[in-house]
Amino acid sequence: MIPVPRADHSFDWSFHGPKLVESLGETLYMVGATLLVGGALGLVLGLALYTTRRGGLLGNRGVFAALNLVVNVFRPIPFLILLMVIAPVTVFLLGTRLGSSAMVVAMSFAATFGVSRIVEQNLVAIDPGIIEAARATGASRWRIITTLLVPEALGPLILGYTFVFVAVVDMSALASIIDGGGLGAFALDYGYKRWNFAVVWVTVVVIILLVQAAQALGNHLSRRVMHR
């Protein structure tokens, strides 16, 4: 049973403070790990979607249709439902369905499909003339995919990943319902369930600051790599 705080509608720094910091750490861990795993898998899937589409470097109608179908099947599943659907897989992989790491499995899965579309969209915007110029030098398709595509779209990609970061923070709060820990669980357990709105609002402020910081960093980085 969770210990009862001294007063309602108040944020007790000595009691709530350490828990807030711990929750923030859990959130950052879940979001960071998801961006790493889902971000990498989504990048690969997005590159596959982009290169296999009609007229692409590896243009292949069958492969594109299959990948497109997979993305379209998994992406619209509401995250809360996906958490349940994927629980057996999480148990198989980690031996448990609870805790922050377990949530990362479901979050990475969901993020992969979202990221793949964002990557695909930004790669489509690359001027085809640049790819033609690379092919004209004798560069192999593999070299173009691995060394040219991502750098040419890097600025918009960073903004895309920043957008995904915010979406993943949102997911992590939802994951708290199934017991993932993090800021969502903190606001739920110590705030909402005890009708202590001081705790809820402090959590909101922390999340706003987190998102603002991420967006500022994303904007800064994308401006640095874009030479337009």
Partner 1 sequence: MPPIIEFDDVTKVFDSPSGPVRAVDGISLGVERGEVFGVIGYSGAGKSTLVRLINGLERATSGRLVVDGDDVTRLSERQLELKRRHIGMIFQQFNLFSSRTVAGNVAFPLKVAGWPKADRDRRVAELLDFVGLLSRAHDHPSRLSGGQKQRVGIARALAAQPSILLADECTSALDPETTQDVLRLLRKVNDELGVTIVVITHELDVVRSIADRVAVLEHGKVAELGSVFDVFTAPRADVTRRFVSTVLHDRPRESDLERLRRHHDGRIVTADVRDGSRLGQVLGSATALGVDFEIVYGGIGTLQDRSFGSLTLSLAGPGDAVDTLVARLREVTDVQEAR
H helices of 75-196, in order, are: 79-94, 100-124, 128-136, 141-144, 150-152, 154-175, 183-186
Q: How far is the CB of 163 from partner 1 (least distance, A)?
A: 21
Point out which span in 72-80, 82-90, 134-142, 166-174 binds partner 1 (CB under 8 A): 134-142
HSE toward the beta carbon, residue 45, CA cutoff 13 A: 26
- Is residue 133 involved in binding partner 1 (CB under 8 A)? yes
Residue 94 class from Cβ within 10 Å (0-12 exposed, 13-18 middle, 19+ buried)?
middle
- Is residue 129 involved in binding partner 1 (CB under 8 A)? yes
Show the site string, 135-174: x = touches partner 1 by CB under 8 A, - = not. xxxxxx--x----x--xx-x--------------------
Alpha-carbon gap, residue 158 to 98, rounded angstroms? 31
Do the Cβ atoms of 166 and 214 come closer than 8 Å? yes
Residues 6+ apart with CB under 8 A from 148: 130, 131, 134, 139
Do the Cβ atoms of 34 and 171 come closer than 8 Å? yes
- Is residue 228 involved in binding partner 1 (CB under 8 A)? yes
Q: How far is the CB of 210 from partner 1 (least distance, A)?
A: 30
Q: How far is the CB of 35 from partner 1 (least distance, A)?
A: 22
Q: How far is the CB of 226 from partner 1 (least distance, A)?
A: 8
3-state helix, strand, coil in the chain (%, to 5): 80, 0, 20
Cβ proximity to partner 1: between 83 and 149 the closer is 149
- Is residue 14 involved in binding partner 1 (CB under 8 A)? no
- Is residue 227 involved in binding partner 1 (CB under 8 A)? yes
Q: How far is the CB of 84 from partner 1 (least distance, A)?
A: 42
HSE toward the beta carbon, residue 8, CA cutoff 13 A: 5
Cβ proximity to partner 1: between 139 and 198 the closer is 139
Q: How far is the CB of 71 from partner 1 (least distance, A)?
A: 27
- Is residue 85 involved in binding partner 1 (CB under 8 A)? no
Alpha-carbon gap, residue 9 to 195, rounded angstroms? 7
The footprint of partner 1 on this chain (CB under 8 A) covers a number of residues equal to 20
Cβ proximity to partner 1: between 134 and 199 the closer is 134
Cβ proximity to partner 1: between 3 and 138 the closer is 138
Q: Which residues sit at the interface with partner 1, rule CB under 8 A?
A: 127, 129-130, 132-140, 143, 148, 151-152, 154, 225, 227-228
